Each structure stands twice: as C-alpha cells, then as structure tokens.
Amino acid sequence: MFKQLRPAIAMLGLMTLITGVAYPLAVTGVTQLAFPEQASGSLVRDAQGNVVGSALLAQNFEGAQWFQPRPSAGSFATVASGASNLAPSNPALAERIAQDTQRLAGEGIAPVPMQLVTTSGSGLDPHLSPSAARWQIARVAEARGIPANALERLIDQHTERPLVGPAVVNVLALNLALADNRVSAGNENAP
C-alpha cells in the first residue's frame, strides 16, 4: 500500500510546488516587469506622492463641490465588492432608486441619469459616461464658484475613449483635477 501512496504523495507535493508556488511567482514577476503600474493596483498619487486611491475603484466624495460616482452597494468598501443582488422587481430596489432620483432631481436638470441612481455590477465602478458627469456641472459650478464652461472643458480633458466601448470619465481623476486647482476656483477643499 505504501508503494502506491508514495508516488501519489510525491506528485501532490510536486504539483503543489509548481502550481501553488512557482507559477504564481512567475506570473507576478512577469506582470511586475511588463505592467508595473497595473500590477501594483493602478494607484493614483497626489503631488506629494501620497496614495489617494486607485484608478480602478470608485471612491465616495462628500459635498456638492465634488463630482459624484455611481452609488455603491457596499458603501465603497472593496471587501464588500459586488452588486446589491436585488432583482429589478424588488420593491426595496425601486424605493432606493426613487429616493435617490428625488434627491438628485432637486439639482434642477431632468431627467436624472440612470448611472447616478443605479449601482454597477462590482459596486465600485470608477467611471461615468460623459453625459452623467456633465449632468452634475451646475451643482459643482455653483458650489465652487467656477464657470460651467470651465468644468465642461475639464470633463472633456478627462474623458477616456477606449478602443472598444463607450467613452468614460474617471470620477477620481476628475475630482483630483478640481482638488489640484487645475480649474480657477474658490472654495477648494481636499477630498
């Protein structure tokens, strides 16, 4: 019996070393060499070099002076990443969307873009469509005392046009541009 177990145990040990240690280390090494920024989490740093977030994850911004990302089912916590898993027919989902729509409708421009009241599949999508970002211009311009056309130009500068898919705006990058005073404005507060 030991004669049959010995090769099985040896093969288990060998495959564990190959697939559990050597392969992950090799993939990590190659990605660190070929794509160091992405392999390290696409971290975004401020002018002092401090990490302020990731270009791949949405963050919550409090206050009318900031562009707001999509709502997060997990309160922007990466541990709870995921959708709310509420069916479209669920009354709780309909009630939350109605409350968010009513709150945002007070900003004047109607209708409220669906992206601003519905969560993404991950709950942490950092992007909005340019139209959803533009919808927020009136609020941000009023809160910051910035001309609306300056914010329009800022959104255009931060619009990413991938090879595949629609144009998007990274809300973190847009808000960091506001925080870095890249637009002439008063009433600047850091995120």
- Kindly report, residue by residue over 9-68, the tens digit of the pLDDT: 999 999 999 999 999 999 999 999 999 888 888 888 877 888 888 888 878 888 889 998
| Paired tokens of 137 | 């211009």
Average pLDDT of the chain to the nearest whole number? 83
Report CA 55 to chain centroid distance, whole Å: 7
Least confident of 74-78, 100-104, 140-144, 169-173: 74-78
Task: For residue 4, give Cα distances in angstroms to 8, 12, 16, 178.
Answer: 7, 13, 19, 68
pTM above 0.75, yes or no: no
Give the single-character DSSP code of 110: S
Residue 135: count of CB within 10 angstroms of its CB: 22
| Most confident of the ranges 47-51, 71-75, 156-160 | 156-160
| Paired tokens of 106 | 């007070």
| Residue type present at position 38 | Q
Residue 178, class by beta-carbon neighbours within 10 Å (0-12 exposed, 13-18 middle, 19+ buried)?
buried
